[in-house]
Amino acid sequence: MRCPFCNNEETQVKDSRPSEDGTAIRRRRYCPDCGGRFTTFERVQLRELTVVKRSGRRVPFDRDKLMRSVQIALRKRPVDPERVERMVSGIVRRLESLGESDIKSETVGKLIMEALKVLDDVAYVRFASVYKNFREAKDFEELLGELTGEEGEPSPKRD
């Protein structure tokens, strides 16, 4: 791992332990050249994933890009960052467990929307407006109708 201070490639690991949420390995590193200390987080990757865009273009899956898009939807919302991290890790695990290396971008979007719907309604609507490419106010009305319709419906009675 390259030192962020002096770019030396020969850094030393001083301590390794699982991260608090268990999704990564936290390593404390030391650079013998400049004396700098820094922390890295390493994640286990079960398989290489490729996202197939609507246009047919193929790009490597990027967990950080997924996290950024979720954080944009959640901007200024009162959601604990740990819950967001767990949600993103869960989405990545689900994608990896599909058994396919090529994942359609629609599949990624649907998984994000499902998770945001549970996490925060406002973030769900924000993400959906971009993902579904809303053009008019009625697009928002329809989505909000779905949200309020689900909450307002009584559960079916069973005998």
Q: Provide the pLDDT for residue 45.
A: 61
Q: Provide the pLDDT for residue 8.
A: 93
* 134/103 same-domain check: yes
User: What is the count of structural domains for the chain?
Assistant: 2
* 38/103 same-domain check: no
The distance in angstroms from the start CA to the end CA of the chain is 63
* 38/94 same-domain check: no
Q: Provide the pLDDT for residue 21.
A: 67
* 17/90 same-domain check: no
| Structural domain that includes position 128 | 50-141
In a domain, 110, yes or no: yes
Which regions of the chain are under pLDDT 50? 151-159
Q: Provide the pLDDT for residue 99.
A: 84
Q: Provide the pLDDT for residue 156.
A: 42
Q: Provide the pLDDT for residue 143.
A: 80
| Spatial CA neighbour of 45 closest among 67, 24, 69 | 24
* 137/73 same-domain check: yes
* 102/28 same-domain check: no
Q: Provide the pLDDT for residue 46.
A: 60
Q: Provide the pLDDT for residue 146.
A: 79
Q: Provide the pLDDT for residue 133.
A: 75
Predicted TM-score (pTM) of the model is: 0.65
